[in-house]
Amino acid sequence: MAKPKTDNTKPTPLAALALAALGVYFAALGLGLVPVPVHSVHAPLWVMTAIGGLLFFSGLAVELQCLGLHKSWFYKIVVAIILVAMITPFAWIVFGDSHLSLLYRIGFACPFAITILLFLPFGKTKFIAIQEGKTMGEILRERQSEPGALQKRKSRTDDNDGSKEK
């Protein structure tokens, strides 16, 4: 008798709670609520607090996904906090007193500089990834089946943008 297939793609609330608890622990370390030997921490305590916040809010985001609230405004705020917390340790390495040489600091800063340059609009006022509401898979299948389909849709989109600006 075959076992029924379980859906392992959905996050579990238990994993979310474990991640949030780990975040609370690191935040408590950073805030000095949990005693830790000073010589064992090689970063400022505020970096530990940021890492704890990152883990806590990541657990909260997974919990919101479990509850089906991944399209709410609160989820968007939590994701924004996660992104800022992810940048914090790297900002300390690049700009802070991390005792690294200039070459290492430039190496850590390059991916962030490249990302910022890629996301600058360079004069465009809007970015429309998929205007017709098609999934990426549908667009790729369309492109493979008919070589000129993507170019036709792009020229049609450009014509629509030109008529709206007039």
Determine, yes or no, domain membership for 4. no
Instruction: Give the C-alpha separation, 113 to 134, whole Å.
Output: 31
Is 141 domain-assigned? yes
Question: pLDDT (tens digit, 0 to 9) for every residue of the chain, 166 residues total?
Answer: 566 666 666 668 888 999 999 999 999 998 989 888 878 888 888 888 999 999 999 999 999 888 888 788 899 899 888 888 888 888 888 887 778 888 888 888 888 777 777 666 554 444 445 556 666 666 667 767 766 655 665 665 555 555 555 4
26 plus 85 within the same structural domain: yes
Q: Is residue 59 part of a domain?
A: yes
Residue 144, H or E segment? helix 136-145
Predicted pLDDT at 136: 63
The pLDDT value given to residue 5: 62
Alpha carbons 159 and 111: distance in angstroms, whole number: 35
pLDDT score at 123: 46
CA-to-CA separations, 61 to 27, 132, 141, in angstroms, rounded: 17, 29, 33
φ/ψ region of 11 (left if φ > 0, alpha if ψ in -120 to 50, else beta) reads beta
**What confidence score (pLDDT) does residue 111 get?**
81
Helix (H, G, I), strand (E, B) or coil at 146: coil
pTM score, whole prediction: 0.59
| Domain count of the fold of the chain | 2
Task: Print the domain residue range for 150.
Answer: 126-166
Question: 18 and 97: one domain?
Answer: yes
Place of tokens 């990426």: 136
Residues 130 and 116 in one domain: no
If asked whether residues 163 and 81 sit together in one domain, one would say: no
Confidence at residue 127, expressed as pLDDT on a 0 to 100 scale = 44
Q: Is residue 1 in some structural domain?
A: no
